[in-house]
Amino acid sequence: MQANSHEVRFSLPSLEVAAKVWGDADGLPVIGLHGWLDNAATFDRLAPHLSGIHLVALDLPGHGLSGHMPAAGYSLWQQAATVLQVAESLGWKRFALLGHSMGAIISGILAGSLPDRVMGACLIDGLLPFTSEAEEAPRQMARFFDASLALADKRKPVYDSVAKAVDARARGGNTALSHEAAALLVERGLMPEHGGWTWRTDPQLMLPSPMRLTSEHAAAFIEAIQSPVCLVLANQGVMHKHPQVVERIERFAHITRHDIDGGHHLHLEEQAEEIATIFDSFFAKLA
């Protein structure tokens, strides 16, 4: 696929969603979904190595160049509903998904809920959401209320140079990545502020979820998937840090799994071409 992408905008009922597009319009229709606090540039290194697909990679609401949702508007199912609205705008009754991390979780929810719409999914280091059981719901909701009240007093960091923002993103805690990879995400994720630069990201995305699915709920979505799924797990990524989650994934016989050395954003690193080879084979079977 060509290295260059072009920009599109979708004017949805509640907000505008931005996207990057790769490939010819007659290719296999694929919607790309990035991870939490990332944006459509997450596929900048992977997409040029893919072939035969028409990839529309979204900035999910609250991220990148897309608009922000109303208060408490960032549940997984609300994000999934936005993806479906984009598919409707494109006239795609059947489509495949390409998701990383949170985007992979949203893909699983869509594929399990609408098997007649989703023809297949390629997922990167993500599948099951963080869960909590019913008895934990009041405590989880209290965390959300406390954080919501405190949000008004918080201010986004302002960097006096783009280079400092890139450095901050590269060091990003449990999901650290190379400066080259961070620069791709930062370019789409910054805006001018008081003579410097700050994040476009909606601060509400930092709030804890008011309600989480139970482990039974989460598994039910994955078990309901009828289309093929190709899952790449990063050996040094997020999911392998939770052996109980990986063990649960092994029980889903309808998911083809590939384990590759690399961190959580390995598709933005040197492993991009290796992952593209795996996904190319998968997408070719769907076409």
Average pLDDT per 10 consecutive residues for the chain, totaling 287 residues: 88 95 96 97 97 97 96 89 98 98 98 97 95 95 95 91 95 82 96 94 94 94 96 93 84 91 96 98 95
Characterise 22 by phi-psi region: left (phi > 0), alpha (psi -120 to 50), beta (else).
beta
Q: Tokens for 265?
A: 């954003």
Handedness of CA 131, 136, 138, 140 (dihedral sign): negative
At 255, phi and psi to the nearest 5?
-110, 125
Whole-number pLDDT of residue 205: 95
**Comparing C-alpha atoms, which of 113, 112, 126, 122 is closest to residue 32?**
122
Give the predicted TM-score (pTM) of the model. Answer: 0.96
Whole-number pLDDT of residue 72: 75
Extents of the domains making up the chain = 6-136+213-286
**Comparing C-alpha atoms, which of 245, 238, 230 is closest to residue 266?**
238
Whole-number pLDDT of residue 2: 66
Of 5, 66, 101, 107, the catalytic one is 101
- CATH architecture assigned to 6-136+213-286: 3-Layer(aba) Sandwich (3.40)
66 is catalytic: no
Whole-number pLDDT of residue 42: 98
